[in-house]
Amino acid sequence: MIRWIRQQLGFDPPHQSDTRTVYIANKFPQHGHYIPQRFADNRIISSKYTIWNFIPKNLFEQFRRIANFYFLIIFLVQVSPDTPTSPITSGLPLFFVITVTAIKQGYEDWLRHKADNEVNGAPVFVVRSGSLVQTRSKNIRVGDIVRVAKDETFPADLVLLSSDRAEGTCHITTASLDGETNLKTHYAVPETAVSQSVSRLESLQAVVECQQPEADLYRYHSQSDHRNPPHTVSLMLFSLYHAGVAVYTGMESKMALNYKCKSQKRSAVEKSMNTFLIIYLGILLFEAILSTILKYAWQAENKWDEPFYNQKTDQERNSSQILKFISDFLAFLVLYNFIIPISLYVTVELQKFLGSFFIGWDLDLYHEESDQKAQVNTSDLNEELGQVEYVFTDKTGTLTENEMQFRECSINGIKYQEINGKLVPEGMTEDSPDGSEELFLKAVSLCHTVQISYDQTDGPGDPFSHANGFSPQMEYYASSPDEKALVEATKRSPQALRERYLMTFCLSLGEKVLFTKGAESAVLPYTTSGEIDKTRVHVDEFALKGLRTLVVACRHFSADEYQEVDRRLHEARTALQQREERLVEVFNFIEKDLELLGATGVEDKLQDKVQETIESLRLAGIKVWVLTGDKHETAVSVSLSCGHFHRTMNILELVQQKSDRECAEQLRRLARRYNTLLVQGPPVQRVVTRWSSHSEHGLVVDGASLSLALREHEKLFMEVCKNCSAVLCCRMAPLQKAKVVRLLKTSPEKPITLAIGDGANDVSMIQEAHVGIGIMGKEGRQAVRNSDYAIARFKFLAKLLLVHGHFYYIRIATLVQYFFYKNVCFITPQFLYQFFCLFSQQTLYDSVYLTLYNICFTSLPILVYSLFEQLVHPHVLQSKPALYRDISKNSLLSFKTFLYWTFLGFCHAFVFFFGSYILMGEDTTLMGNGQVSVSPASLPSSLLFSYSRSCVSVAGLLLC
């Protein structure tokens, strides 16, 4: 806390330079001028409050609400003498509202603290004092050597030092960082790779000079005595263990820096409530000023200024008229202040809190396979689920299971399908292999980065000593799920897999053969032989089926050609200047004149009912944007297969833009590509872009082009996007996702946005959107912990919005309108009564009624209604998504609807007041204590209890 205060005051800046020096194992120099650097601890914080700031911070947030602040002022006014009502009438409800709200928000934040403690208290092993000791994750310091075992999460950003493998390799996935569950291989430098024991790690004398923390997941630069490559990772799958030095910890880690600063989200309903409160505050001020003016106008006559029953004292006669006017104005303000419904907020809070349990109890949102039910982290946004206009969704792990299955392939112009584990030519039922398949299968078997893991329970030995090269304990790990699926499909050739570990080029008939595979756009332009046209047709057919496609090709080298290639590669790799450019030049020389072998079609398994869910959202008037870090071809393929893009949709592309000028020109082309209307007008033609209503458009944009588009052409980019039915953004960094969400939600239309994802790379957009939803998937719990709601599968989003969102919005909208209505009914008779008591500030109601009317008498019935009312059956809402549009744009809390409820309240108030007045007439009645009550008209300066009770009874009966 002291350090934080010093940093805020500028006395202790967190970073003194652009770089940081990390001493491995915290072995600081013993001699010389050394100034220790201060780094953040390794605690992850997603909560809003602490035990020290909860009360002041929560009170500050609560009194930002207009009604709470207003009643605080009224309470302070009532504390002063000569007010018509007791301070209890405002103070008690205000205290009740503040307390209930604080308890609710404190409970929700306690759940966040509990989730943080699970992460911060996770056991980890670090090397300290010459031994491997167990500690908690939060105790890791920058410079500590951390040991991470198989299937464990990385507790901080680490630089790889060594692993259990002799070559110092480590195979990891970065699922919780960037959503990629693919296996990635990293290498330790030779100088540290040999340090595989605790003693050797402890004896390391090395310094890492690296940049200060930044949010870019793909950027890291460091210098050291030994060249340490960057490896910011999150989950290791393959090696048994590895050791790394912590360089960024806690809130300075890559993952934490990609979290958007957590702020209080406020729903559109709450914003409408604040607007209505301001209007009612204006009505209150008008009534108080009018009553004060009429009082002095009425008292202009001496008989009313000082009647016989209310003689003034000398002090009152000599007091300042201005002070008297202000005092009378404040008295009327206190008298009418209950037109502002103080219990509105607490009733809304209770309705949201209690109503949120229905989401967790809904069995339709329960996922039996994983035993996970829907979870509500923030109940303040329940009604916002019924107002969503844009859904931003991640792809990997959200729309898909990220599990690939080989389905079809094209070999030498012949299309094959996998049937019962065999390749069968199209139209045939039996396996009919021929020589044309051999080279294709070799290419698929060899050209990959798949690694194999064996459960070596029988002791060390050649892993291929297992029968047929495979065993039940064998596992595949690949840098691409496509490669894993292809290798599994060709696993009947163990010899080919064994050769993968030996060489990149396969010896065949005395020649060297280069195998290559990739997207058709990257490979086909360099092919000169083979069934190119037929394969291209097959690739298009695979894509139409939603399959992920790869084209396979090869090139044969003679001995002399191979020697030339080897020489040029060696020269390029050892070049001291322009190494990258020279390597690209050599690769272009090698990868040409290719022979096309065929193509593969792999299915990325979608989650259940993804296509139906997206279609339901579209029918409900919700636009779906897919934001993914995957490459262009993969993202488009999945968008087609899940129904995000239709087969008949015009696909626009904004990809691979290199400059602002090129990007702007492409945007203009997209804007006028379809349905451009040329309007003739002197002296030149004027182009007006008009999008037709009968054709749909889809837009594909990559991260680099998006950065250019948002730099200077944001308006043009938004024009193109808003006229597209579906948008796909690929190669997106986490903060880019948040920027896109912010771009939409701050546009002039101010649409309600929802973001859904399952990885830490989705946290920033989840926090940026009006509503954030985390998927309980395979990529950690960061998205779930930082979301407003959590569900197990994407398909549950349909019911969450179309049913729960619909109900919550209608219920809360009715509750809010009713509260303003009933308070108008309640306090307007008080205003009308002043005309009958010479504006003497007599109260119409007893203090008990004033205190309990809002808290109990009228709040409980509407609370029950707002919890259980269902105007339409849930099955109807799901089967007819178009009903969602009926409540869009905050229609039930529009200004027109608000005026209707207010007008209705004034009309009923007049009925209550004058109806009771007429019913009583000039008659007298005997009260319970034996006294005779007189009609109000016969004694304007008094208020009879029987009359006030009749007014309240009639009003309460009609309202309830």
The answer to whether 185 is annotated as binding is no
Q: What percentage of the chain's residues is helix, strand, coil (to nearest 5)?
A: 50, 20, 35
The answer to whether 394 is annotated as binding is yes
- 552 phi and psi angles, rounded to 5 deg: -115, 135
Q: Which residues contact 328 (CB under 8 A, 6 or more apart)?
A: 292, 295, 296, 841
* Alpha carbons 948 and 960: distance in angstroms, whole number: 18
Q: How far is CA 549 from CA 531, 538, 545, 599, in A?
A: 16, 10, 10, 7
Number of residues written out for the chain? 960
The answer to whether 628 is annotated as binding is yes
Chain centroid to CA 302: 69
The answer to whether 151 is annotated as binding is no
The answer to whether 455 is annotated as binding is no
* Alpha carbons 562 and 559: distance in angstroms, whole number: 5
Its sign, for the CA torsion 536, 540, 541, 547, is positive
The answer to whether 566 is annotated as binding is no
The answer to whether 672 is annotated as binding is no
What six digits make up the tokens of 57? Answer: 């911070």
What six digits make up the tokens of 603? Answer: 């299915």
DSSP codes of every residue in 208-259: EEEEPP-S-TT---EEESS-PPP---SEE-SSSEEEEEEEE-GGGSHHHHTS
Q: Which residues contact 582 (CB under 8 A, 6 or more apart)?
A: 571, 572, 575
The answer to whether 396 is annotated as binding is yes
Q: What are the beta bridge partners of residue 855?
A: none
Q: How far apart are the first and last CA of the chain?
A: 52
The answer to whether 549 is annotated as binding is no
Report whether the peptide linkage leading into residue 683 is cis, meaning its omega lies within 30 degrees of zero: yes
Rg of the chain over Cα atoms, rounded to whole angstroms, equals 36
The H or E element that residue 838 is part of is: none
The answer to whether 762 is annotated as binding is yes
Question: Do residues 730 and 643 touch, judged by C-beta distance below 8 A?
Answer: no
The answer to whether 731 is annotated as binding is yes
* Catalytic residue check, 394: yes
The answer to whether 886 is annotated as binding is no
* Alpha carbons 657 and 715: distance in angstroms, whole number: 18
Question: Do residues 776 and 370 touch, judged by C-beta distance below 8 A?
Answer: yes
Which of 6, 102, 103, 106 has its CA nearest to residue 48? 106
Chain centroid to CA 657: 28
Question: Do residues 488 and 479 touch, judged by C-beta distance below 8 A?
Answer: no
* Alpha carbons 636 and 730: distance in angstroms, whole number: 9
What six digits make up the tokens of 272? Answer: 């409408």
Question: Which one from 144, 380, 394, 604 is the annotated catalytic residue?
Answer: 394
Question: Do residues 477 and 451 touch, judged by C-beta distance below 8 A?
Answer: yes
Amino acid occupying residue 905? G
| Binding region for ATP | 394-396, 483, 517, 548, 628-630, 731, 737, 761-762
Report the catalytic residues. Answer: 394
| Binding region | 394-396, 483, 517, 548, 628-630, 731, 737, 758, 761-762
| Binding region for Mg(2+) | 394, 396, 758, 762
